[in-house]
Amino acid sequence: HRHRVSRRGDGGVDQVAGLSRTAAGCAGQASTFDARAGIDYNGHPEPQTNARQSMNANLYALLAAHFPRDGQAPCMILPDGRSWTYRDVDRASGRMANLIVALGLKPGDRVAAQVEKTPEALVLYLAAIRAGMVFLPLNPAYQRHELDYFLKDAQPGLFVCRPQVRALADELAANAGVSGGCRVLELDDSGRGSLIEAATPHADAFATVERTPADLAAILYTSGTTGRSKGAMLSHGNLAHNARTLH
């Protein structure tokens, strides 16, 4: 199964729904693919066995358990004809997960992203949940006062922004009051930036952090039409159910 990537919809809710739909489309239905038989796409023993993965409620573990045995199979096809294989997604999310951990974030910490929809944005989402973090998508149209509120409320340890708002992101991150500080990295609309550069030296392999169905995986802020925006909390179990339904 191959999934085509588009950029329709920019809101936080639309972003996670779209990312979940893409991730579910990449994984396919449980009955469609064989699991990876304990060998990762680098040819090394898988850090977690299939039996162990089946006990892990981390959304990434659920998706990866249904990746095809052939890592060269296309996972995403872009509008310009380029494609990402399952091996590409697995390795890229592993590098990014290792980067997130190297930055000092711990399971349960927040990773905020105000970026456009790209394959790299999907990888960031997968890497965050794979590392046990909580993903916080932010609409690229949000203004200064909205971002200030969200960062102070959610307290992310990492904020990924577009290069054109880097100065504002640095200022807001510094004022967010996050214990240990909020790091800022960039991801542009073509999938390039300091986030990718920082992740490149890291290892491809990453042992997906164990989570329970009730553990928090994402925070989506409401539109705030009837008052101040509130963060709706989605667990790994919620997102797994959504992924099955969307697929």
How does pLDDT run across 141-184, given as a tens digit for each residue? 999 999 999 999 999 999 999 999 999 999 999 999 998 899 99
Report which of residues 30 and 44 the model is more confident about: 44
DSSP class per residue in the chain? --EE------SHHHHHHHHHHHHHHHH--TTTS---TTB-TTSSB-SS-HHHHHH---HHHHHHTTS-S-TTSEEEE-TTS-EEEHHHHHHHHHHHHHHHHHTT--TT-EEEEE----HHHHHHHHHHHHTT-EEEE--TT--HHHHHHHHHHH-EEEEEE-GGGHHHHHHHHHTS--TT--EEEE--TTS-SHHHHHHTTS-S---PPP--TTSEEEEEE---TTSS--EEEEEHHHHHHHHHHH-
The model's pTM: 0.81
Report which of residues 243 and 17 the model is more confident about: 243
